[in-house]
Every structure is written in structure tokens, then in C-alpha cells.
Amino acid sequence: MDGKVLTVIIGMMIVTYIPRMLPLAILSRINISKGLLNWLSYVPVAVLSALLAPEILMKDGQLQINLSNTYLLAAIPCFIAGFYSKSIFLTVVTGMVTVVLLDKFI
Amino acid sequence: MVRSEIRSELKEGIQAALPVVFGYFPIGMAFGVLAVQSGMTTFEIFLMSLLVYAGSAQFIAAGLLAAQASIGTIVLTTFLVNSRHLLMTASLAPYVRNINAKLLSLLSFWVTDETYAISMGAVVKQQKSKWYFWGLFITSHLAWLSSTVLGSVMGNFIPEPQRFGLDFALPAMFIALLVLQVRHKKAIAVIVISAALSIGIKLNLAGSWNIILATVISATIGVLIDKWMEKSSQSLSA
């Protein structure tokens, strides 16, 4: 097994476990400051958007905002499915099916 | 607790995991297929699913590993992506005071987006014992392990995963998680700013710095918007 992959897995394990564990372990004893909590409340939307935008708006390192970008087109029904179903499963399936259909017909 | 109560709570937890199991299978299999194609072995995929257990971070890590990103970049990006769980377990904390802190620290390992949603839905209605959570969490984790390993085995036989839309599984999951996280209009401003920054930085800077920089800057702008709105509402009322 690759030593780099093992190091990555252990590092990921630690930084994934700590945010899950800390509030349940210490929140009853320590109060996090309101300002930090407010900043943290913006991190999820910020990071998800930072990850998503290049995936659907760029292709091969170039900005691609046009109708030949199937990912961008598929994102539209995906957002609608997410908004109405609030289900990760249904949103993912909608996205995957749309991409397959777009690849077939465009 | 008597034995019959333990058994019924355990059973209830396992049943509550069913929607999570259905949700994990397509995503887990998509991850397995793509991770194999980006150079990971089935054993590495199994180990990652066992020890990290975080869908979107695992996708990102597989992509970054294939792109030869540094260990630091992968771990820091994982931290930012998974920091959202901090707020989830924080909101869960008041409802699980019946379970001791040590055991909660252990159980928190299994809090994912999906198991959080199920847990929260259950505890706001009625207090749940540790047995409910064991049932829910272990069943869900087994589904994640088996689906990602199954996907990695299939990945060796699927030459073109894009034909099945598998490579859109990750962006679609980001969209789902993003929609679930939006609770007020200010969040939309942060989303737009972060998207623009992420692309702007990616176009001008090599590596994966766009994610970390865009996140930190746009979250800070979010806080500044809050401060600014607070001030203007104060001056209006004054």
C-alpha cells in the first residue's frame, strides 16, 4: 500500500472526526464564542460553493458558460430536485440521469 | 433498560437507517468506481470508507490524489468540507444529554449528513437511547463500506464511468448538500461570492488553493455583512 495514501487517510480521519466529536464532547461544558460560531455557520455554504462552481462552470481549465456544457445544464434540474425533495439521493439520481440523457441527445 | 427495550430500540435504529442505505448505494458505488479509476486500490478504498467515512471528502480526496496534490492540501480541504459537521453535532447536543459524554464522543464518529438528518428528525420528537444510535449508525456505515467496495470492484470492469453519469455524482451531491444548508438570504450572497472567488483563483493560481481561499474569504465576508446589517439597523432605530 502507498505510504502517501495511508498518511492521507489517517490525516483525513483526524480532521473529519474532530469537528464531529468536539461539540458533543464539550459543548455542555464550554461555550464557543458567538462570533466564531457565526463564521463557522458560513463555512459549509462557502466551501460547497467553492467546490461546485469549477465543476459545473469550467471545463479543461477554461470558463465554459454555454449550452454545450452538459454539467451546467444538468445542474439546473439538480437544483430544482434538491430544493423540492430535500433528499440527497433524489438529487444525485436526477443529476446522473440528466447527464446520461444530455450525452445521448446533444 | 430491559432486554426487550434494548432490542426494540436497536430494531428501530436499524429501520430508520433504511433511507440512508438507499441513499448511500448509488453514491458509494459511484465513489468506488471513480476512486479505482483515479488510481486507488480496493483495500485503500475500504480503509478510507472505514476510517474517514465521509462521502464528499472521499470523492475530493480521490480526485486530488489523482491530481498529485500534496498531503497538506488534501487534509486541509477535507477539514474545511467536513467542518460543517461541527454545526450539526452542536445542534444535536441538547437532545442527547441522556447519553454520557464519553460514549457521545465515540458515537459522533458516525454522524454524517444523512445520519444527522435522520437522528435530528427522531430526537426532536422523542428521546432516543444509545441503542437506537448504534442500530442507525452501524447499519449506515455497513452500507457505505459495502457500496464503496462493490463500486471499486465494478470499477475494474467499467471502462467509461461517464456513460452512466457517475462522474456527475459528486457535483450533484454538492448541489444537494448546498441546498440543504441554505437557511437565509445572506447564505446566497456568500454562495455567489465564493463561487466567483473559487473560479477567479483557479483561473489564475495553480493547485487547489481556490477552495481554501474562497471559503475563508467568503465566510469572512458573510460575517462582515452581518455586522454591517446590524449596524445599519441600529442606526435606523436610533
Identify the band that residue B237 occupies on the pLDDT scale cut at 50, 70 and 90: low
How far apart (Å, rounded) are the C-alpha atoms in residues B230 and B43?
52
pLDDT in tens, B63-113: 999 989 999 999 999 999 898 888 788 888 888 989 998 999 999 999 998
pTM, two decimal places: 0.81
pLDDT of residue B50: 98
Percent of chain B residues topping a pLDDT of 70: 99
Q: What's the whole-number average pLDDT of chain B? A: 91
Is there a contact between B53 and A16 if contact means CB atoms under 8 Å apart? Answer: yes
pLDDT of residue A70: 93
Interface pTM, i.e. ipTM: 0.89
pLDDT of residue A28: 56
**pLDDT exceeds cutoff 90 at A88:** no
**pLDDT exceeds cutoff 70 at B8:** yes
The domain locations on chain B are 1-165, 182-237
How far apart (Å, rounded) are the C-alpha atoms in residues B170 and B88?
21
Residues sharing a CB contact under 8 Å with residue B18, sequence separation 6 or more, in sequence order? none
Identify the band that residue B235 occupies on the pLDDT scale cut at 50, 70 and 90: confident
pLDDT in tens, A39-87: 888 888 998 899 899 999 998 889 999 999 999 999 999 999 999 998 8
Could you tell me where the beta strands, DSSP code E, fall in B67-160? Answer: none
* B205 or B130: which leads in pLDDT: B130
Shortest Cα–Cα distance, A104 to chain B (Å): 9
pLDDT in tens, B147-161: 999 999 998 888 777
All cell numbers assigned to A90: 433524489
Q: Does B206 touch chain A (CB under 8 A)?
A: no
Q: What is the dihedral of CA B139, B118, B152, A58, to 10 degrees?
A: -170
How far apart (Å, rounded) are the C-alpha atoms in residues A86 and A78?
11
pLDDT in tens, B13-58: 999 998 889 889 888 999 999 999 999 999 999 999 999 999 989 9
- Angle CA(B218)–CA(B223)–CA(B225) in degrees, nearest 5? 90
Q: Is the four-CA dihedral B199, B200, B206, B207 of positive or negative sign?
A: negative
Give A-chain residues touching B115 at CB under 8 angstroms. Answer: none
Q: What is the dihedral of CA A54, A57, A61, A67, to 10 degrees?
A: 160
Is there a contact between A43 and B80 if contact means CB atoms under 8 Å apart? Answer: yes
pLDDT of residue A31: 67
Residue of B43, B48, B214 with shortest CB distance to A46: B214
| SS3 assignment, position A62 | strand
Q: Does B79 touch chain A (CB under 8 A)?
A: yes
